[in-house]
Chain A
Amino acid sequence: MSDRASADTRPNALSAWPDARGRFGDYGGRFVAETLMPNILELEAAYEDAKRDVNFQREMEEFLRDYVGKPSPIYFAERLTEAFGGAKIWLKRDELNHTGSHKINNCLGQVLLAKRMGKTRIIAETGAGQHGVATATVAARFGIPCTVFMGATDVERQAPNVFRMKLLGAEVVPVTSGTGTLKDAMNEALRDWVTNVSDTFYVIGTVAGPHPYPAMVRDFQSIIGREARAQMLDRLGRLPDAAVACIGGGSNAMGLFHPFIEDESVRLIGVEAAGHGIETGQHAASLKGGEPGILHGNKTYLLQDDDGQIIDAHSISAGLDYPGIGPEHAFLHDAKRAEYVSATDEEAMEMFQLCTKLEGIIPALEPAHALARVRDLAKELGPDGLILMNMCGRGDKDVPQVAEMLGVKL
């Protein structure tokens, strides 16, 4: 048993997974082509080694502080609290990070690891482009050539991020195979990796993929929850009643949840993208609308048909538009330690505008999903309640799309 971001080391603790096989209960594992197995094992060893190296940790901390802008503050969203008429709402401001989202926490860790392993080329997949931009940014900083795979559909709807990546020196490869979205970008990144296996490091953007990625990405993202937990105790002298985050693959949610897993009083609530509504079949809610299966290196909940073929996800938010979810979420779901709910496209649009108007914070469409359930939860918990929500990204990238949906010509 290896990866523990929280202090709890009891062998049966829910926070103590994965096991040596990279399993979170029955989920996770290493389901990759044989060509990649030696790489995966090499990566696991290198990561274990880096974790124990104080120089690596110090370098991480310095870049997180001076380059990313850590720690991000927690902020009392007073006007949202008033509007929702219940529990106090605090936002963890990870949208203030360099590049505008939580994604860079993980990219920094992985690129530093790539450098340490002597890899000379970085590849990444991206949906909305946030992970692609964050990877291209860190790759630029360390002077490592970077190729980003992006679904052709997403390349079209996220043109500003594509240009940003190119400015940062990355090559952006539009992926036309399959349906040209995030899962196809991940397929193509895996194909590239299998071809350029010796010199290339694959920076996966979420808590999914073969072991050690789900645990490693979680560890890098756990800075969200560690900071927020300490900040809540410091500022308010208590832990929140609930920690809430949106979920696509689930990296910001896992980063927020993990340091709270052993705090039994803290409800952990993940908000999946319900798209047009789960009943319509057009959604991205793998836990609510999917079942366990094997894809992209891990066993987890997947959107799939009766024959085990993967069904395309749908969400207004390209960052949540993925038919799977990180295996640790699948595990926490089955163990009933975390609750998983969902919010529709329409609700996300409403919250996007509301948060912007009331707080002067333009949220990304991804965390706008989480806000919709924060609204319900605030009422449920009442004025004595305390909610912590991760504002995992800012919405500048979504402005053109939102304008179009509101019928505004820019």
Chain B
Amino acid sequence: MTNRITTRFNELEAYGRPGFVAYMMAGDGDSQALLNALPEAGADVIELGMPFTDPMADGPSIQASALRALDAGMTLKGVFDQAAKFREHDTDTPLVLMGYANPIHHMGFENFARQAEKAGVDGLICVDIPPEEDGELREALGQHGIALIRLATPTTDDKRLETVVENTSGFVYYVSTTGVTGAASGVAQEVGTAVSRVKTASGLPVVVGFGVRTPEQSAAIAAEADAVVVGSAIVDAMHEGGVAAATELVHTLSQAAHGAKK
């Protein structure tokens, strides 16, 4: 099945330029406005965060953002509503949900997958369900055409990489550093080596994230990967300066990524 994710990465490949993946938290501030504005600001793929009370793989920025979103009343249903509204005027930009297992499990994997499909969602990154545990979820997502996107990290050795890339689809998210979101980013050179390893093993596009904040980092990481992911910096900009500041930042960082030489 060719979906928006595959189409988008094929386009980027054809243009010969790296892509830019923007992460934002659903429900933190005027998130619908930001979501709608991201493609024009330069996001090739959007990761939409589903807030959770106990985000144990996230650093301070995204933790605080999740709690603000929950305080403002965001729910999983609310996330789907935002996705559906986004799809009313953007039919091309891949939309990937990112979050933690419990709310998804609570809704029921099948129910979650069905509603995600209905809302125009293309993929899911679930931080705390490793390959060993994701059979049931993967099956449900597969039936509704949603890609299950896995994470590879510096601790994923060659043997483990086989497990990680097996049955994965869409793209692989390479976490450039051992740590939480927003921590210092990986060294570009090491990232390049890791990316080729993951690409070879998976046959899928590889995006790289964790700790990218500046145009220089964005360009350096993008040069080594199919796309660079920025999350915490966008979340901070949104909190401090609203939609205008966040889109401005996405514009700057995505231009740096798009201009990087592969």
Task: List residues of chain A with CB under 8 Å of any chain B CB.
Answer: 21, 29-39, 177-178, 183-184, 186-187, 190-191, 194-198, 293-297, 299, 302, 304, 307-310
Do A177 and B130 have beta carbons less than 8 Å apart?
Answer: no
**How far, in Å, is B116 (CB) from chain A's closest CB?**
15
**How far, in Å, is A45 (CB) from chain B's closest CB?**
13
Do A38 and B132 have beta carbons less than 8 Å apart?
Answer: no
Do B106 and A304 have beta carbons less than 8 Å apart?
Answer: yes
Given known A38-B156, A294-B101, A296-B56, contact A30–B178 (CB-CB < 8 A): no
Q: In this assembly, does B53 line the interface, its C-beta being within 8 Å of a C-beta of chain A? A: yes
Contacts of B152 in A (CB 8 A): 34
Q: In this assembly, does B175 line the interface, its C-beta being within 8 Å of a C-beta of chain A? A: yes
Contacts of B240 in A (CB 8 A): none
Contacts of A38 in B (CB 8 A): 155-157, 160
Measured between alpha carbons, how far is A191 from B63 in the docked complex, in Å?
A: 12
Do B133 and A194 have beta carbons less than 8 Å apart?
Answer: no
16 residue pairs A–B, Cβ–Cβ below 8 Å:
A34-B175, A35-B153, A35-B175, A35-B179, A36-B155, A37-B155, A183-B54, A187-B56, A191-B59, A195-B183, A307-B106, A308-B76, A308-B102, A308-B106, A309-B52, A310-B54
Do B103 and A308 have beta carbons less than 8 Å apart?
Answer: yes
Identify which of B75, B76, B105 contacts A294 (C-beta below 8 A): B105
**How far, in Å, is A186 (CB) from chain B's closest CB?**
8
Contacts of A39 in B (CB 8 A): 155
**How far, in Å, is B164 (CB) from chain A's closest CB?**
7
Contacts of A294 in B (CB 8 A): 100-102, 105, 128-129
**How far, in Å, is B28 (CB) from chain A's closest CB?**
15
| Nearest-neighbor residue (CB-CB) of B105 within chain A | A294
| Nearest-neighbor residue (CB-CB) of A195 within chain B | B179
Measured between alpha carbons, how far is A186 from B56 in the docked complex, in Å?
A: 8
Q: In this assembly, does B259 line the interface, its C-beta being within 8 Å of a C-beta of chain A? A: no
Do B102 and A37 have beta carbons less than 8 Å apart?
Answer: no
Do B150 and A34 have beta carbons less than 8 Å apart?
Answer: yes
Question: B64-90: which have CB < 8 Å to A?
Answer: 67, 70, 75-77
**How far, in Å, is A144 (CB) from chain B's closest CB?**
21
**How far, in Å, is B105 (CB) from chain A's closest CB?**
5
Measured between alpha carbons, how far is A299 from B180 in the docked complex, in Å?
A: 22
Q: In this assembly, does B201 line the interface, its C-beta being within 8 Å of a C-beta of chain A? A: no
**How far, in Å, is B202 (CB) from chain A's closest CB?**
13
Question: B133-163: which have CB < 8 Å to A?
Answer: 133, 150-157, 160
| Nearest-neighbor residue (CB-CB) of B180 within chain A | A191
Contact indicator per residue, chain B 171-208, by CB within 8 Å of chain A (1) or not (0): 00001001110010000000000000000000000000
Q: In this assembly, does B16 line the interface, its C-beta being within 8 Å of a C-beta of chain A? A: no
| Nearest-neighbor residue (CB-CB) of B127 within chain A | A33
Q: In this assembly, does B107 line the interface, its C-beta being within 8 Å of a C-beta of chain A? A: yes
Measured between alpha carbons, how far is A29 from B136 in the docked complex, in Å?
A: 13
Do B133 and A295 have beta carbons less than 8 Å apart?
Answer: no
Measured between alpha carbons, how far is A38 from B132 in the docked complex, in Å?
A: 12
Do B130 and A32 have beta carbons less than 8 Å apart?
Answer: yes
Given known A304-B102, A308-B103, contact A194–B178 (CB-CB < 8 A): yes
| Nearest-neighbor residue (CB-CB) of B57 within chain A | A33
Q: In this assembly, does B241 line the interface, its C-beta being within 8 Å of a C-beta of chain A? A: no
| Nearest-neighbor residue (CB-CB) of B156 within chain A | A34
Measured between alpha carbons, how far is A304 from B105 in the docked complex, in Å?
A: 12
Do B75 and A307 have beta carbons less than 8 Å apart?
Answer: yes
List 7 A-B pairs, minimum CB-CB distance, nearest first.
Answer: A308-B106, A308-B103, A294-B101, A195-B179, A35-B153, A187-B56, A34-B151
Q: In this assembly, does B37 line the interface, its C-beta being within 8 Å of a C-beta of chain A? A: no
Contacts of B153 in A (CB 8 A): 33-35
| Nearest-neighbor residue (CB-CB) of A211 within chain B | B132
Do B130 and A31 have beta carbons less than 8 Å apart?
Answer: yes
Contacts of B100 in A (CB 8 A): 294
**How far, in Å, is B64 (CB) from chain A's closest CB?**
8
Q: In this assembly, does B104 line the interface, its C-beta being within 8 Å of a C-beta of chain A? A: yes
| Nearest-neighbor residue (CB-CB) of A40 within chain B | B130
Given known A294-B101, A304-B102, contact A21–B175 (CB-CB < 8 A): no
Measured between alpha carbons, how far is A195 from B180 in the docked complex, in Å?
A: 7
Contacts of A190 in B (CB 8 A): 56-57
Do B56 and A21 have beta carbons less than 8 Å apart?
Answer: no
**How far, in Å, is B127 (CB) from chain A's closest CB?**
6
**How far, in Å, is A70 (CB) from chain B's closest CB?**
34
Contacts of A304 in B (CB 8 A): 102, 106
Contacts of B105 in A (CB 8 A): 293-294, 299, 308
Measured between alpha carbons, how far is A197 from B155 in the docked complex, in Å?
A: 8
